[in-house]
């Protein structure tokens, strides 16, 4: 369950940050409810999903993984534009490597700011399985039931994104959820997706010798199952 964003700061901008967080959560509800009639499997990813896994930080984006193919894009785009979203650029679908991402902008009523909404199409076998592993959660303050990526899958996406903030998010997720993680599955996918080095980097400062030893054992065990044909 995602709780309220608690921001502690002496900065004069703290109130504005808190308001922005509320606006993003309301935008999530608006987008989620607008897409539900399509009956497509979907899950929240990115910064908003972190709070479901004990790591809260500010974000101004709504990121979803959705089980829609490029061929079925028109009903998806129609539902979003009818809900007041507009394409960020033309064409609205961009390619990042093998990924297909629908990028839109949304200005919530009275917010006077554009929020970016990114929908990653679940076309690879990995992403289809990630959707099957999605976890139900609830945002009580907005009376919203939705799904988020499993913690292991969120870590994988953060490792793939690769920027400094994403790597820090991955490290925090590992630290906060360590007792509950399925390390064997996590290591299997990091190896399959060629992310083993990235995972090792964010875990290299771990001081728990027993967990580190198990991690190293799993790394050795999964090195032989790399499938170069599988990617994000």
Instruction: Please provide the average confidence, as pLDDT, over all residues in the chain.
Output: 82
**Which residue's entry shows tokens 């967080």?**
21
Per cent of the chain over pLDDT 70 is 79
Reduced 3-state DSSP string for the chain: CCCCCCCCCCCCCHHHHHHHHHHHHHHHHHHHHHHHHHCCCEEEECHHHHHHHCCCCCCCEEEEEECCCHHHHHHHHHHHHHCCCEECCCCCEEEECCEEEEEEEECCCCCCCCEEEEEEECCCHHHHHHHHCCEEEEEHHHCEEEEECCHHHHHHHHHHHCCHHHHHHHHHHHHHHHHHCCHHHHHHHHHHCCCHHHHHHHHCCCCCHHHHHHHHHHHHHHHHHCCCCCCC
Tens digit of each residue's pLDDT (9 = 90 or more) over 149-202: 999 999 999 999 988 899 999 999 999 998 999 999 999 999 999 998 999 888
Mean pLDDT across the stretch 29-35?
A: 97
Write out the two tokens for 230.
């599988």
When pLDDT is cut at 50, 70 and 90, the band that residue 138 belongs to is very high
**Domains in the chain: ranges and CATH:** 1-149 (3.30.460), 151-232 (no CATH)
Residue 18, pLDDT above cutoff 90: no
The predicted model scores a pTM of 0.81
Tens digit of each residue's pLDDT (9 = 90 or more) over 61-111: 999 999 998 888 999 999 999 999 999 999 999 998 889 999 999 999 888
């Amino acid at each position: 369950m995602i709780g309220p964003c608690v921001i502690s700061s002496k900065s004069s901008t703290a109130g504005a940050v808190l308001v922005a967080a509320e606006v993003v959560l309301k935008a999530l509800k608006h987008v989620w409810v607008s897409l539900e009639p399509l009956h497509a499997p979907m899950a929240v990813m990115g910064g908003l999903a972190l709070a479901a896994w004990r790591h809260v930080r500010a974000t101004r984006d709504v990121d979803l993984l959705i089980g829609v193919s490029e061929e079925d894009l028109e009903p998806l785009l129609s539902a979003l534009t009818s809900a007041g979203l507009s394409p960020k650029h033309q064409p609205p679908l961009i390619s990042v490597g093998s990924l297909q991402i629908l990028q839109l902008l949304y200005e919530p009523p009275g917010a006077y700011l554009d929020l970016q909404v990114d929908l990653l199409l679940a076309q690879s076998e990995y992403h289809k399985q990630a959707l099957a592993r999605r976890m139900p959660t609830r945002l009580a303050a907005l009376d919203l039931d939705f799904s988020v990526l499993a913690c292991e899958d969120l870590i994988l996406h953060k490792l793939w994104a690769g920027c400094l903030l994403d790597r820090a998010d991955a490290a925090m997720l590992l630290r906060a959820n360590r007792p509950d993680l399925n390390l064997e599955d996590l290591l299997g996918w990091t190896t399959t997706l060629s992310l083993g080095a990235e995972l090792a980097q964010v875990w290299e400062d771990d001081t728990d010798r027993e967990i580190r030893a198990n991690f190293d054992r799993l790394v050795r065990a999964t090195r032989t199952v790399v499938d170069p044909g599988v990617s994000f």
